[in-house]
Every structure is written in C-alpha cells, then in structure tokens.
Amino acid sequence: MFARLFGKPKMEPITLEKLSENLERLEKMEKVLQKKAAAELEKATRFSNAKNKRAAMQSLKKKRLYDQQIENNGNSQLQVHDLMIMLEGAKANIETVDALRNGAAALKAMQKAANIDEVEKTLDEVHEQTEKMKQIQEALSTPIGFDDFDEDELEAELEELESAELEQQLLQPAPRFLVVPAGRQPNRPLLQKPTVDEEDELAALQAEMAL
C-alpha cells in the first residue's frame, strides 16, 4: 500500500564512504552489546548467589540474546568488509578500464590525425614548397636583363668573333729572324721587321758565311 502511495524508495548508490560509516556503527554497536552481555552475566551471578534462580535464569537468557546479536553483528561486519574489498577492486578495475579506453581513444585520434594519406599529402606539400624556394633563389641569383638576349644569337656572334680573330692571325706575316755571327750582338731586337738596308746586309752576311 505504502509502495503504491509513495512509490518505491530510491536506492542510494553504495560507496566506500557509506560502507565505512556502516562498519563504524556496527563496531560501536558490538561494544554496547558486549557491555550489556557482561552486565547480564554479573546479574545472573548475583542472583545465583542470592538463591534467586528465576532471576538468574532471566539474566542468562538476556545474555545469550546479546551474545547472539554480537555474533550477528560480527557476521555483518565481515560482510561489510568483504563488500568494501570488492568495491575497491571494482573501482580499481573501472579506473583501469577508463584509462585504457581514454588511451585507446587518444591513440585513435592521433592515428586519424596522422594517417598515411595525410602524411603523404604533407610530404608532397613540403617538396612543392622546397621546389618553389629553389626557383625563387635561382630567379634572385640571375642578373636583371640577362634573360632578354637570345642564346643562339649570342653563340653565333661569338663564333664570328673567333673566326675574325683567327683570320687576322693568319694574315699577319711570319716574323723574320736575323742570323748573327758568334760574338756579334745586334743593336736592335731580333724580332723587329727588317728594313730594305737590313735585307741587303743580311744577304751580304749570308754570302760571307757561304765562303
């Protein structure tokens, strides 16, 4: 009836703190029961000495009831202890599972952020930017205006210059050397082009040497 009127009572979640409080109450209750049992035993002893058997028996019955409650209290304490140990183990397991779950989620997120496609795409972008920087450096190292000239025209002009220089060298007369007898030093450089008089003198020397 009360359940239909007020509904089912809400079950509060069991926590280690609540179990610890419950265990503390049971321990205090055990001390109280032990005192009451000891008091009833003392009364039974007095009544027995006073030859009041009925009163002594009543005290002993009460003592046994207290002893039974003490035993039940001890069993309850053991159950609370067992439950606390189980909760502590379950809490440790839950924390471990949560840590593993969070670690797996973090690892999954990192792998998603750095999958092979993204890595290859990033490397391609790096290579592309590197090539662009090389092109920029090459462009900056080239003097301004040098690209306006045709390379083929420059090559042709250079060949013309080399041909003209070679032709000029071929047209120059070969140097004539003056043969000087031993002991005579020429007054002019040997490679100087001889004049008309020098040609006559050279012919005369050659004639003398022939003699």
Q: What pLDDT is attached to residue 139?
A: 73
Per-residue pLDDT at 196: 53
Counted domains in the chain: 1
**Which pTM was predicted?**
0.44
> Quick one: pLDDT at residue 120?
78
Q: Is residue 162 part of a domain?
A: no
Q: What is the pLDDT of residues 163-207, one digit of tens each?
A: 777 777 777 665 555 555 555 555 554 445 555 566 677 777 666
Residue 56 belongs to some domain of the structure: yes
Taking alpha carbons only, the member of 28, 94, 39, 95 closest to residue 67 is 39
In a domain, 164, yes or no: no
Residue 35: inside a domain = yes
Q: Find the helix or strand (DSSP H, E) in which 139 lies.
A: helix 116-141
Going along 126-167, which residue ranges are E strands?
A: none
Weakly modelled stretches of the chain, pLDDT under 50: 1-6, 8-9, 11, 189-191, 211
Examine residue 18 and state whether it is found in any structural domain, yes or no: yes
**Rounded to 5 degrees, what angle do the CA atoms 177, 178, 182 make?**
125
Contacts for 57 with CB less than 8 Å, ≥ 6 apart? 44
**Tell me, what's the pLDDT at 209?**
61
Q: Residue 85: which domain range?
A: 12-106
Q: Is residue 23 part of a domain?
A: yes
CA dist 60 and 67 (Å) reads 10
In whole angstroms, what is the distance from residue 39 CA to residue 41 CA?
5
CB neighbours of residue 45 within 10 Å: 13
In a domain, 85, yes or no: yes
| Within-domain flag for 209 | no
Domain with 87 in it: what CATH number?
1.10.287.1060
pLDDT of residue 158: 76
